C-alpha cells in the first residue's frame, strides 16, 4: 500500500508544478483592457481597465510609450488625478479604473499602458490609441473590451480544464495499474 501513496504523490507533484507554472498565464486575467481604441481628433476617449479585486487598494496609473519599461506616466490614482488633458478615476468596488483623454490630437496616437503598481513586477496591459476621422464611439470600445474579457477567461479556463482532465487520466491509470498489480503478485516477483 505504501507504493500506492508514493505513486499518487509522484503524479500529483507534476500536476502541482504545472499549476504553478500556469500561474503566470492566469495572471494575465488580473488586468483587462481593450487592445485598440479609435477616436476622432478633438474628441475624447474613455478607456476602462478592469482589474481583479485583490488589487483594489493598489495604486494605478496610465503611461505613454511603445515600451512599458520606458513609458512616461501621465496620471496616477495616488496623486493629482487630472493632468493636462488626462484624468483617471478608480472604482474600487467594481474593480475598474477609467482613463479619460480629452481634446485629442494626432500626436496622441501611440501605445499606452494600464498599470497596477505592486511589489515585485507590476501588472500592465497595453492599449493602442488610434486617432482617425472615421473613429468609432466608446461603446464599441466597451463591447470589444467585454469580448476580450470573455476570451481571456476562456483561455484560462480551458488550461485549467485540460490539467484537471490530465490529472484524472493519470489517477485512473495509477488505480488500474495498482489493481492489476494486486491481482497478479507473482508477475511482480518474476519482473525482478
pLDDT in tens, the chain (192 residues): 444 444 555 555 565 555 444 444 434 578 999 999 999 999 999 999 999 999 999 999 999 999 999 999 999 998 777 788 999 999 999 999 999 999 999 999 999 999 999 999 999 999 999 999 886 544 344 444 555 555 555 666 677 888 889 889 899 989 998 888 888 766 555 555
Span 91-133, pLDDT tens digits: 999 999 999 999 999 999 999 999 999 999 999 999 999 999 8
Say how far apart CA 52 and CA 112 lie, in whole Å: 20
Which pLDDT score, from 0 to 100, does residue 182 have? Answer: 85
In a domain, 74, yes or no: yes
Which pLDDT score, from 0 to 100, does residue 151 have? Answer: 53
Span 154-164, pLDDT tens digits: 666 677 888 88
Which pLDDT score, from 0 to 100, does residue 143 have? Answer: 45
In a domain, 119, yes or no: yes
Instruction: Cell 474628441: give the residue.
Output: 43
pTM: 0.59
In a domain, 66, yes or no: yes
In a domain, 77, yes or no: yes
Number of domains the chain is built from: 1
Which pLDDT score, from 0 to 100, does residue 163 have? Answer: 87
C-beta atoms surrounding 101 within 10 Å: 24
Q: What is the domain-level CATH number for residue 64?
A: 2.60.40.10
Say how far apart CA 173 and CA 185 lie, in whole Å: 18
In which domain, by residue range, is 38 found?
31-136
In a domain, 18, yes or no: no
Which pLDDT score, from 0 to 100, does residue 7 have? Answer: 53
Which pLDDT score, from 0 to 100, does residue 1 have? Answer: 46
In a domain, 157, yes or no: no
In a domain, 57, yes or no: yes
Q: Could you tell me which residues are beta bridge partners of residue 123?
A: 116
Spatial contact of 99 and 62, defined as CB atoms under 8 Å apart:
yes
In a domain, 79, yes or no: yes
Amino acid at each position: 500500500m505504501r507504493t500506492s501513496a508514493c505513486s499518487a504523490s509522484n503524479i500529483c507533484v507534476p500536476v502541482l508544478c504545472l499549476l504553478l507554472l500556469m500561474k503566470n498565464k492566469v495572471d494575465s486575467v488580473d488586468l483587462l483592457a481593450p487592445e485598440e481604441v479609435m477616436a476622432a481628433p478633438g474628441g475624447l476617449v474613455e478607456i476602462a481597465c478592469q482589474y481583479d479585486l485583490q488589487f483594489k487598494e493598489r495604486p494605478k496609473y496610465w503611461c505613454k510609450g511603445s515600451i512599458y519599461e520606458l513609458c512616461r506616466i501621465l496620471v496616477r490614482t495616488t496623486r493629482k488625478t487630472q493632468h493636462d488633458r488626462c484624468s483617471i478615476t478608480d472604482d474600487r468596488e467594481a474593480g475598474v479604473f477609467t482613463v479619460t483623454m480629452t481634446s485629442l490630437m494626432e500626436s496622441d496616437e501611440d501605445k499606452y499602458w494600464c498599470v497596477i503598481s505592486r511589489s515585485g513586477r507590476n501588472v500592465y496591459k497595453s492599449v493602442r490609441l488610434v486617432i482617425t476621422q472615421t473613429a468609432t464611439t466608446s461603446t464599441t470600445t466597451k463591447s470589444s473590451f467585454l469580448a476580450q474579457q470573455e476570451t481571456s477567461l476562456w483561455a484560462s479556463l480551458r488550461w485549467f480544464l485540460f490539467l484537471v482532465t490530465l490529472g484524472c487520466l493519470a489517477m485512473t491509470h495509477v488505480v488500474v495499474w495498482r489493481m492489476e498489480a494486486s491481482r497478479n503478485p507473482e508477475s511482480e516477483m518474476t519482473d525482478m
